[in-house]
Amino acid sequence: MKELNVGMVGYKFMGKAHSHAYKDVSMFFDVPMQPIMKAICGRDEAGVKEAAHKFGWESYETSWRNLVNRSDIDLIDITAPSNAHKDIAIAAAQAGKHVFCEKPLALTLADAREILAAVEKSGVKHMIGFNYRRAPAIQLIKKLIDEGKLGKIYHFRGFYLQDWIIDPDFPLVWRLQKEVAGSGSLGDLGAHLIDMARYLVGEFDEVMGMNETFVKERPMVSEMTGLSGKAADNSPKVSVNVDDATVFIGRFKNGALSVIEATRFAAGHRNGMWFEINGSKGSVRFEFERMNELQYYSTEDEEGVQGFRTIQVTEPVHAYMQAWWPAGHVIGYEHTFIHEVYDLINAIASDKMPEPNFYDGVKCQQVLEAVDASVAERRWIKVDDI
């Protein structure tokens, strides 16, 4: 079988999720190319060496430039923090490697456009990690919409709710630093909903938003552990320069309306990604923490027994599920990454552009920046004016 040699930058939360995907994908799916976990890269030698061993990579590098220039690598996977995306993605494209990059694509729209231009110029394949598209229930929603089962779409109403930074003494981890992350709740969480809304409903026309940073100062992080981190004793407090919560309303080009809320201050919600779409013939409702289910309402159901029904999206007929367990045996978060990698390998093997790709990354970034502009200027912003 043909091989696809992978080099990955980053070995923390997303690095682990992607490594697991490369490791497991061919055990469950029939892949046209076998991914070979050639090398993983990180700045801290002891850390990356341990990750290479634990996750099953053949070798490790401490310089991403070395990784990108290795002749035995076909695909560069970027799971490092957002401020590292641009340089690595452009260098990888220039070296003729396919590129898979975590979201959001870049710190700014200008950077995202530069990345897109570089991959288009070199003709490599590119994919962005909006992993939630790969939940089987999301694929079912897409199918229902494409088949006209929801009719004309009127509303997209989405919330992405987390609570992991509510404690004012929680340290200023990289996700709370604008220079590293680009933005706060909007770029980290809102980006997923923007992508979902674009995928399922269409392009945004205009947006109007507001945001807040509830905790203005936090102790500087000294050690990261997963999403979290520790501050050194007596660490001085520094200003938080990203949003803790952002709420925006929007109008799609097809006339539908949207309400989107992204917050890290929703006590009790650990990873509550929830959205509902309402159309002329029905509605769907998805909640990530119950990702094996889909709520579906059809106006065509018989009078008297109408109501939201719960579909268990675990049958072999559902997207990706044929490869997993018998019906009713549920899957989880990590499977969305395996599905991404499966689709990426298939696209590369058949010389097709994967989706979502860096074009989608740019379109998402455009909406993020339009929302930020609207917050700053306290007015509606046309997305295409950004």
Nearest to 284 by CA among 146, 137, 147: 137
Shortest Å, Cβ 307 to ligand SOE = 31
The answer to whether 155 touches 275, Cβ cutoff 8 Å, is: no
Shortest Å, Cβ 122 to ligand SOE = 27
The answer to whether 306 touches 297, Cβ cutoff 8 Å, is: yes
Q: Judged by CB, which is closer to ligand SOE: 140, or 186? A: 186
Phi, psi of 140 (to 5 degrees): -70, -40
Burial class (CB in 10 A: 0-12, 13-18, 19+), 149: middle
Shortest Å, Cβ 190 to ligand SOE = 10
Q: Judged by CB, which is closer to ligand SOE: 1, or 267? A: 267
Shortest Å, Cβ 22 to ligand SOE = 19
Which token pair is 300?
């065509």
Q: Judged by CB, which is closer to ligand SOE: 245, or 348? A: 245
Strand order in the sheet with 381-382: 309-312, 293-298, 282-287, 272-279, 153-161, 257-263, 245-252, 204-212, 381-382
Q: Judged by CB, which is closer to ligand SOE: 73, or 368? A: 368
Q: Judged by CB, which is closer to ligand SOE: 60, or 159? A: 159
Nearest to 124 by CA among 68, 189, 81: 68
Shortest Å, Cβ 29 to ligand SOE = 22
Q: Judged by CB, which is closer to ligand SOE: 60, or 100? A: 100
List the beta bridge partners of residue 126. 99
Q: Tokens 């018989």 belong to which residue? A: 302
Which own/partner contact pairs does 11-16 have at CB distance under 8 Å and 24+ positions apart?
Answer: 11/40, 11/42, 11/47, 11/48, 11/51, 11/52, 11/55, 11/79, 12/79, 12/224, 12/226, 13/226, 13/227, 14/79, 14/102, 14/129, 15/40, 15/42, 15/51, 15/55, 15/79, 16/51, 16/55
Q: Judged by CB, which is closer to ligand SOE: 188, or 244? A: 188
The Cα 141–Cα 153 span in angstroms is 12
Q: Judged by CB, which is closer to ligand SOE: 162, or 283? A: 162
Shortest Å, Cβ 16 to ligand SOE = 12
Q: Judged by CB, which is closer to ligand SOE: 287, or 315? A: 287
- Which amino acid, residue 143? K
Work out whether the CA dihedral 129, 130, 133, 135 comes out positive or negative: positive
Shortest Å, Cβ 102 to ligand SOE = 8
- Ramachandran region, residue 96 (left: φ > 0; alpha: ψ -120 to 50; beta: rest): left
Shortest Å, Cβ 185 to ligand SOE = 8
Q: Judged by CB, which is closer to ligand SOE: 82, or 314? A: 82
Shortest Å, Cβ 191 to ligand SOE = 8
Shortest Å, Cβ 204 to ligand SOE = 20
The Cα 58–Cα 29 span in angstroms is 22
Interacting residues toward ligand SOE by CB under 6 A: 162, 188-189, 192, 227, 271
**Closest CB to ligand SOE: residue number:** 188
Which token pair is 308?
């939201």
